[in-house]
Amino acid sequence: MGLKFSKTLTLSKDQIVPAPNTKNPSSPTPLQERLLRKLGNTPNVYPFLFYLPLSAPPSVTLQPSNSDTGRPLGTEYELKTYIGESDGDPGHKRSTVSFRIRKVQWAGLERGKKQPSSLITKGFKLSPGKLTVEVSLDRDIYYHGEEIGAHVAVTNTCKKSVKNIKV
């Protein structure tokens, strides 16, 4: 049918050489220094850094079926670098280098050791007893988009009636 089920967004577009802001040149990282030594003293080597925005979602890929062809559906990132004559030049296929990047969300290996909870006790001046509110979550790790289940336990051992509780 000729339909393409994908959306291409550009998160960032920066000029590397000549550097637009020469006031604060960044020093090369140890990995970049090793690569520069490996390539030799070539004047046409320009190390650079890039960062994915913190708001960018992690990479997700839906598992394709055996009959599906083409690239799988999901969120993926691609870094493209190219040589252009001017700012508006989109670059040619022969002068473009690109590679895919996966942004991984990591939550640790040890799960379920301690359930998050909070306990508050309040005493009243002219009334014997205390009011205790305990809130606990059903898990210690949640992922983006999951519902968070909170368990609230209220223990009232005083004579005052509870009218409002904000959690």
Query: How far is 45 from 41, CA to CA, in rounded Å?
Result: 8
Q: Report whether 107 contacts 143 (CB < 8 A).
A: yes
Q: Within a domain: residue 46?
A: yes
For residue 17, is it within any domain? Answer: no
Q: Quick one: 83 and 115 in the same domain?
A: no
Nearest to 138 by CA among 155, 121, 154, 114: 114
pLDDT tens track for 85-99: 777 787 788 888 888
* Rounded Cα distance, 47 and 64, in Å: 37
pTM of the model: 0.50
Of 116, 159, 113, the closest CA to residue 134 belongs to 116
Tens-digit pLDDT profile for residues 128-160: 889 899 999 888 777 767 888 889 999 999 888
10-36 mean pLDDT: 78
Residues 34 and 97 occupy one common structural domain:
yes
In this structure, the answer to whether residues 69 and 91 fall within a common structural domain is yes
Is 60 domain-assigned?
yes
Asked if 96 and 127 sit in the same domain, the reply is no
- Give how many domains the chain has, as a whole number: 2
